[in-house]
Structure 1
Amino acid sequence: MKFPCSIFLLFFRHPTVIPDSLQISYTRSLTSQPVPEGAELTLTCSSSIQSEQLTHLSITFGKRGGGERSDSEAGGEVSTIREIISIDKLLGVVPGPFYKKRYDDGEITLEKRNGEGGQGLFVMKMKAVQPSDAGSFFCEASQWIRDPDRTWQRIAQRTLDIGNLTVQQLVESLDVASSPRGEVTLQVGSPLILTCEVLGLASDVNSGLLVQWMKRGSVSSDVVGTRGVEVEVARMSPDGIVSWGDDLSRGSGGSLEKVSEGKYSLKLFSARPADSGVYRCVVSVYAGRKNPSPSTPATLTQRSEGVAVNLKTKDVLVSAVARLSRGPLLKRGSTITLICNTTVTTTGPVQVQVQWLRWPIPEPVITRNSGGVPLDLEAVTQPKPIATLMYNGVANINHSEISIDRLSANSYRLRIHMATEEDQGLYGCHAEVWGQDPHGGWYDTGARSVSNLVTVYLYARAADLLLIPLVVGVSSALFVGIVIIATLQRILPPFPHALVADIRFVFNLCSP
């Protein structure tokens, strides 16, 4: 489409008449068909000048409107003109003020190519169309000449409407669905397979996807949707890298795979009680950006409905009783021996994990709350972990003078060698039951028991008991001797100094 030109411009500073030879055209106009958000948009504008004078050409791509809202008129639209990008008269590329960041990020470009018949071909590309890009696009060409005073004057201008752009927003089409729907009940050790499907993405838009599986801790929490903390189970980044959340051990016991375009599968090969909860698939779409940078915000993030996963566990009952091993009175330097006897009622193979804790000996004053009721010991003081014998036989000990072992199937022993006063306190054991799934893996059944508390007190040694009368006796003898000497000097006639010295010598000999 071309515009014939028969206009002659005359400037009083230029006696020469310059014919208006500026021409502009486009190869393809925009249609009313909506363009998906994130799609690439390419607009082409051709322009040329045929003049014997040295003139320059500038090209500007811009748009009018676009649905910007007016603050003064509720619900009204403002007719605005925004320059998107230009090639100025000095052949420099200049982005519009509202598009500078996208230009700096490489999402908007403008280049000049050689067209047919000596025309300049100007190609503008938007790599990812946004809803704010909707509006009426135009191409504007200007012819410039430089005056003798070195200032530039525009002597001709043509504006060509390219068409209207309508953007189909992602929020209107995107849908994230997870399956199976509703609730899933499994036996411990069975595989758990969840599928996430992303629908409503345009096939011609090259978008990056971040897929996450999130889990909230309790099945019953889905009713209110607020209980429990939601944690990340696994994620697949837009570049296909899979990483696991808090439970890193799942990296060898599960997988997250892209089954087909827009379809992702989470597999836990052997589900355990800790895997129960409400699962949701969370998808973040980077429209038109296949490999977004870490700082790039997602175009849209949407969550699926929750899938409640419930795992059936065997009925387990456990109890624990702690006692102090019989023996002589415990003194400083003795070995303290404590026994924890457990009783487990269940079916199938189980192992017990035992942890020993120590509380300080409470003060004789009873601590009461505002209602006058004595407070529980554990609520007043925090216990100190002493040692743990794991279900797999591994011992965790926090001191070199402590040992822990298993005496029999249900009896566990704690020994504290070379005991000191710091080892005094109230001791108790906590028992946790671990079961074995059909694949041979061990899992925490959730069955727990807290034993009674045993008081450990260290008595004084015999050497310590003999030291007390010895110190008292020496002190008493010295005191009596001093009193006698002082009395003699006060009631008797003066004695020669030598006699007094002899008396003191005798008392010194008699003193123990």
Structure 2
Amino acid sequence: MGLAQCLVAAFLFLLVLGLTPAQRVVTVQQGPLHRVRGSHVTLWCKVSGYQGPAEQNFQWSIYLPSAPEREVQIVSTVDPSFPYAIYTQRVRGRGIYVERVQGDAVLLHITELQDRDAGEYECHTPNTDERYFGSYSAKTNLSVIADTLSASMAPQVLTLTEGDAVELTCEVSKSTTQHTHLSVGWYHLRGAGEHQAEEVLTLSKDFILKPGPSYVQRFLVGDVRLNKVGNTTYKLFLGGVKPSDQGQLYCEAAEWIEDPDKTWKDISRKQTERTSLTVVSQGRDLSVDIAAAENSLSEGDTLQLNCTVEAQKSDSRHFQVIWLLNSMEVARVDSHGVLTWEEEYEGRAKLGQLQALKSSNTIYALTIYEVGLRDSGTYRCSVSEMKTPGDLHGIQTNLSSGIQVNVKPIGLGLRATLRSRIATVRYGQSFELVCQVSANYTLEEVPAAVRWLFQPSPPTSPYHELVQVFPNGTVAWVAAQSHFREKAQLMKADTSFRLHLHSAVAAAEGTYQCEVEVWRRNVLPLGQPAATTSSNPVGIKVVLPESKVRVSTEDSSVEVASSADTAIECRIVFAQNNSQLAVTWYLLPPLADGTPLQIIRANYSGVLEYGPEFSSPAQKSRFLSQRVSSNVFWLQILSANLGDRGRYYCVVEEWLWLVDGWYKLGEGTSGRTTLEFKLPERELQVDKTNRSLSAREGEEVTLPCLLQGARLPGTHLSATWFQVKKSGLDSPLLTLHHDGTIQLPQQGRAGRLYLRRPTPGDFSLTLTRVESGDAGFYSCQVQEWQHQGEGQDWALQASARSGYTQLSTIPPESTVMSRICSSPSLLNFILCLPLVLILLLALAVSCWYCKYRKSKKGNITGNQLMELDGNGEVKTT
């Protein structure tokens, strides 16, 4: 067929469609909806398929739970007298009103939801067509729930220097009985108006951290963080504050609920009081440099360091200088010139071994006489400008580059070797580390000091000091390591130092090292360190207590009737009394590839977490984990259906509190419990042939499901179609109930699935507009039901499952029309070509016509110049 024929055929097809009357359909927001008392609520309603004017009218009514059959009129877009008396005042005061989104779609607004607003809402559109054809109203349910969301933060007034850090705490809680999620966000107000608020950092309802546009880079480097502590505490950490952070900070919490159409709606929002933040800005004209007379020294030499400050009008400004060695403070000279030594260096300064001077307002010097090995490292000076000499905070700070100083050891051969008899210890067992020292001289005759260092496992930071033992026997513990102090015993014997740790805990696992200093007696009473050495590292592993949990591994089966409730049991054979148990339930579907699906996990605190395949509200309401006794867990399955078939099992974890936290000791896996369905004595005859079909995307395909043979008289049939997911789980697509109603669990395909039933025994499924995601395995389940009599239920008489149909999808065929439509430039050319040809033709005709008129005008003028003389001859005038 040529292109012209295709276009003519398409035109005729569209013409036929235009003559066919459309069916009127009214659609309202899907319910039930849960909304918070006092909130602003909107319900949408739209109409399609009408033949009347473009602007349609809408009328809203409610059916209250107390009188579900009685219509109570609320508001109308056309009739001001439509509302009943109980709604008249709220409608007139705009407490309830209708917003027209477009001609055929509106929103019903309830500005402050009340308890009496709960009920079934109906949207009605008066007929504007020539005849009634279709639906003219639709209903949805609205529930009113209490607002339990709370958010609080203590208001503060903070003044920080640029570069400082701040931490703010927000307490958020809710007690809504429905399944809801929380989002918690921090916002910044630069000015007084709330419209200027910008997002700092938000923990979304999906548990995703999202920084605001102005805070993305700081979030990536870790200067903006949100930490959740416990169930209700959210902490915002803002590091390296900037002048742009000045203003007001507050926390906002929102509670979200998932509506039946799978969209999430925020049903409540709460803001905390605000914290005022003032940031003192730092200037940028301060330059700092450091230099050394010599940076390669031997023990006993003198180290001379100079720090130079460059700044405009430096003589009238006030500076504080801090000397640093390996980022640790050595000494500081404040803006008054007062010198303060760090505690570690104070003794050496009193002995005249250290000196720090302010030579001028821009030159500062640090001198170390008789340097030792411990004086090796990277030196820097930090300079802060103070607004006035008495200020505690600088208005700007700059740090010099680092200068490396190396001190060589006056050949003492000092060495330290660290060892332990055992490298792996059980939790609660004691162990001992021995630091053995050797040198080229008699160690018993000189004072020695030892420093014990520790790095936790896994390494999260460099080695840090635990304790130091001085030559006079004084012991100095680091305050942050108090948990070691309570369990440690320090000993010295001849040339060895010992660290004995009692009752090892998990926090004691890591790498240990000892550092030894040998002192001189002949310098001054307290002595001077002559040499320093570090030992080899020794790793200690702490093995947690062995798990005692034992789970029954016997396989079993459970038989259940369709739509009935059942429970899968997980029995604990043995567990320690002082441990806590967490249980995770898994399912192996019949067609699974060996990978189990996580259904639900209940941790040792009872907090539930659903797997991806079971996280929908419908699945969460059907699968529940319950501890029915000290040694029995149940997985409850409500309204079991054929899609729940498979083998179930549990994994039980044993957790124990070990001084510094909860630790998982081990786990046990149960046997498999097969879930089977009670089948009626009689089996329906359904075609069980396995088939393979292919369909091109965009086309239509029919999947066969044929009932063979006769059925009992007076019975009704039902059928359910399933698609087998990649996980092996049966996913119901469409159910035809015995009363003729159709249920579509997957709303995304609702408009593409049809049961056309040309005969009573044909339950074939038609899938229109095939998509690539439709590929997979399909099967149907047919059941026969019989009514048991007046006031009795319907009873299942027979059932059967069809074979599997494998559907493969083919990409759409490339045609001339599809190529044209897929190429915007070619399509535009074809659409514009007739217009261009018409314009060219019009231009040609216009040119010809002008030329013709000009020629004709010339002929007329020539005729006017000719006359006849008296003799009848022609003469020209």
**Could you say whether these structures have the same fold, taking a TM-score greater than 0.5 normalized by the shorter chain as the test?**
no
TM-score by length of 2: 0.25
Q: Which has the higher contact order (CA 8 A, sep 6+)?
A: 1
Given the two structures, how large is their TM-score scaled by the length of structure 1?
A: 0.38
